[in-house]
Amino acid sequence: MAVLTIQHMKKSYEDLQVLSDISMTVEEGEVIAVLGPSGSGKSTMLRCATMLEKMDAGDLMYGQHVVAKDYHGKAVYAKKASLQKCKNMFGLVFQNFNLFPHYTVLKNVIDAPIHVQKRNKQEVIQEAKELLKKVGLEDKEDYYPCQLSGGQQQRVAIARALAMKPQMLFFDEPTSALDPEITAEILKVLRQLAEEKITMLIVTHEIEFARKVADRVIFMDGGVIVEEGCPKDVIDHPSSERTKAFLQKMEG
């Protein structure tokens, strides 16, 4: 079953067209890596898919829930209550963590499930402790973000996203602000989530990770999907010259 469906997504900023025509579906349990040079539209696509920005045209759905439908070349969004329902269906992890600096690690993780989803406090705390254990931070629950390394903060951000029990997770360059050693920590957590069949769409520059962990790789450039397929095809045997040039540059 498709968790996310995007059809003919377009987005411009004044005269600059950033997304020309993006269509994709993400199936339940699938891990998709989105590659592409800076300025290719990857992050804009992710921001439109997660409703941080409004697309200009196209259809966007989570499962059977409609976020926006295209009418005569213009995206018309659903009512606020429907959009809120859709927002609860995914989690988002940013490159700069976006933790609340004045909350402890545990409070960062439990805050939204308790106050937004109105779930049982004791139950949420128990689950949050399990999640922190999963990301290797069970001994850091009383720390504040400023007392943690970048990699630890990113792992808290992942635990926080999982605490909402989303149907899928989006990652926007989750390792770009981290040094190589710490990057390995985050990729290990993502690999573990992939093994648990958690649906993920990951915008990344980590070619090796995409090769090993993704079920499907999408290569974007110039606001369009240039090529997509299994990692072996897209990364090892790209058919497009643009993909080849990008990979040579990244791996060179």
Tens of pLDDT, residue by residue over 31-48, are: 999 999 999 999 999 999
| Coil, strand or helix at 17 | strand
Interatomic CA distance for residues 123 and 164, integer angstroms: 12
* Helical H segments across the chain, by residue range: 42-49, 80-87, 105-115, 121-134, 150-163, 180-195, 207-213, 231, 241-251
State both tokens at 204: 């990344």
Q: What is the mean pLDDT of the chain?
A: 93
Task: Please report the pLDDT score of residue 174 as a whole number.
Answer: 86
Task: Please report the pLDDT score of residue 234 as a whole number.
Answer: 96
Tens of pLDDT, residue by residue over 206-232, are: 898 999 999 999 999 999 999 999 999
Task: Please report the pLDDT score of residue 252 as a whole number.
Answer: 63
Tokens 């990652």 locate to: 171
Estimate the crossing angle of helix 150-163 against helix 180-195, to 10 degrees: 20
Which tops the pLDDT comparison, 144 or 150?
Answer: 144
Tens of pLDDT, residue by residue over 78-110, are: 999 999 889 989 999 988 888 999 999 999 999
Interatomic CA distance for residues 11 and 80, integer angstroms: 21
pLDDT over 90 (residue 75): yes
**Whether the Cβ atoms of residue 30 and residue 215 lie closer than 8 Å to each other:** yes
Interatomic CA distance for residues 244 and 201, integer angstroms: 22
Pairing mode of beta strands 168-172, 200-203: parallel
